[in-house]
Structure 1
Amino acid sequence: MKTSTFTKGILFVAVLGTAMVFTSCKKNKDVIKHDKDAKEIIIPCKDEGRSDKNFFRADASATSQDMSLSREKALTAAKQRVAGLINTKIKSVTDRYVNETEVGTNSDFEQKFENLTREVVNKTLVDITIICEKNFQESSGKYTTYIAIEISKDAMLNGINSSISKDQKLRVYYDKMKFEQIFNEEMEKLSEEGGY
């Protein structure tokens, strides 16, 4: 009788385990089903707008009755996106830099450094390169512009280094090699994350 109870116990555990395996496997095999008339939408300049370890990139689109206005709106939106991306990365770099160096307790340095980098970003946005631009006239007569832009990582670093060299207080705490090392590591992460 002990064997029968033991066998039933093993059988119960085996059935329970099998049920769990099938249930968990089913979740991994869920496929997104589209309506039969669904079509994939390919967005022009989207792939060109992905950042990598050497460039900050962004893409955007805009529609207007006037073609030059649609271009201007798309370019402005792309600049805003790339500026946001740069500011986020610079903030990460600055936080790590402050924590990994003896600057850690100097909040004045951190604040001043962030202000300086914002100024550098704004100046550097003038030097963007348009790497993709496509214009379409819709059936409604409106124009849609898709655009992708980039800013070199080196241009950002050079701008930061140049600005710091002109500020005596920041220069005291600034270790160029350490900052560039952290900056490059953060750019690698950005590239590995798919560029957004």
Structure 2
Amino acid sequence: MKKMLYWTGVLTLTILFASCSSSRKASKSTPVTPGEIEVTIPLGGPEYQSDAEYWRAVQTGTSKDMSMAKKVAMQNARQDLAATVQHEVKAVIENYGQNAAVGAKNENEALYQEMARTVINQQMNGVELVGEKLFRLEDGSYRYHVCLQMSRESLGAGLSDALSNDDRLKLEFDKAQFKKVFDEEMARFAEQK
């Protein structure tokens, strides 16, 4: 009788462990919990994110009018792109100002910033459309998604040319030093993304 109880216990434990291990495997293969729904973000892949070559901005616009949804999305993307570019270029100019051996550094730094804003505004006219998606919503309105990009290299060249051609800065501007600082900062920003 003791042997029979012993073997029944062993059999019960074996079945219990076998069933526990299979339920663990089932839970691993179903990562989504009940009630969770994965949402795909339009224009959300890596090809729509800033990298070493381009700054990119993805934005949306919603309106009852399809063209207005597009205008809102484009304006939002342009503003987002301009803010990002200005922030990063400001850091480049500050670092260049610190590295350059200039007598009136603060005055020149203000001139560099002013020139940078002008060049950025000019470059914003040349932004490229990377992708766009349009959705019609249940209420009849439209949601437009857009991704715009600006070349880091063309902006750097534009800044360098503008700064080297300015009569006030021509004597103190070192084009090679500026390019070096610009490239270092762009690499640093690209690594952060």
Q: TM class by shorter-chain length?
A: 0.7 to 0.9
When residues 105 and 40 of structure 1 are mapped into structure 2, their CA distance, relative to the original with a 3 A threshold, is farther
Structure 1 counterpart of 2:173, one-letter code: Y
Shift of 1:146: 0.7
1:42-121 equivalences under 5 Å are 42-47=40-45, 48-103=47-102, 105-121=104-120
CA distance in 2, matches of 1:188, 1:157: 13
Quick check: 2:160–2:179 contact (8 Å CA) kept in 1? no
Q: TM-score, normalised by structure 2?
A: 0.78
CA distance in 2, matches of 1:79, 1:57: 10
Quick check: 1:51–1:190 contact (8 Å CA) kept in 2? no
Structure 2 counterpart of 1:45, one-letter code: L
The yes-or-no answer on 1:162 pairing with 2:180 is no
When residues 163 and 135 of structure 1 are mapped into structure 2, their CA distance, relative to the original with a 3 A threshold, is same
Quick check: 1:46–1:148 contact (8 Å CA) kept in 2? no
The yes-or-no answer on 1:131 pairing with 2:130 is yes
CA distance in 2, matches of 1:153, 1:120: 12
CA distance in 1, matches of 2:165, 2:176: 17
Quick check: 1:49–1:148 contact (8 Å CA) kept in 2? yes
* Alignment partner, residue 34 of structure 2: 36
CA distance in 1, matches of 2:103, 2:40: 46
CA distance in 1, matches of 2:103, 2:117: 20
Mean Cα displacement is larger for which, 101-110 or 71-80? 101-110
Residue aligned with 1:79, SS: helix
**Between Structure 1 and Structure 2, whose CA radius of gyration is higher?**
2
Shift of 1:120: 0.7
Residue deviations 1:7-63 (CA, integer Å, cap 9, x gap):
xxxxxxxxxxxxxxxxxxxxxxxxxx9863122222111333311111111110111
CA distance in 2, matches of 1:78, 1:112: 27
Mean Cα displacement is larger for which, 49-58 or 64-73? 49-58
Mean Cα displacement is larger for which, 73-82 or 33-42? 33-42
CA distance in 2, matches of 1:165, 1:110: 14
Greater RCO between the two (CA within 8 Å, min separation 6)?
1
Mean Cα displacement is larger for which, 118-127 or 170-179? 170-179
Over aligned residue pairs, what C-alpha RMSD do you find? 1.7
Quick check: 1:53–1:191 contact (8 Å CA) kept in 2? yes
Runs of 4+ in 1 over 3 A off after TM superposition: none
- Number of residue pairs the alignment of both structures matches: 162
Q: Which structure 2 segments of 5+ residues have no match?
A: 1-30
Q: TM-score, normalised by structure 1?
A: 0.77
Quick check: 2:134–2:143 contact (8 Å CA) kept in 1? yes
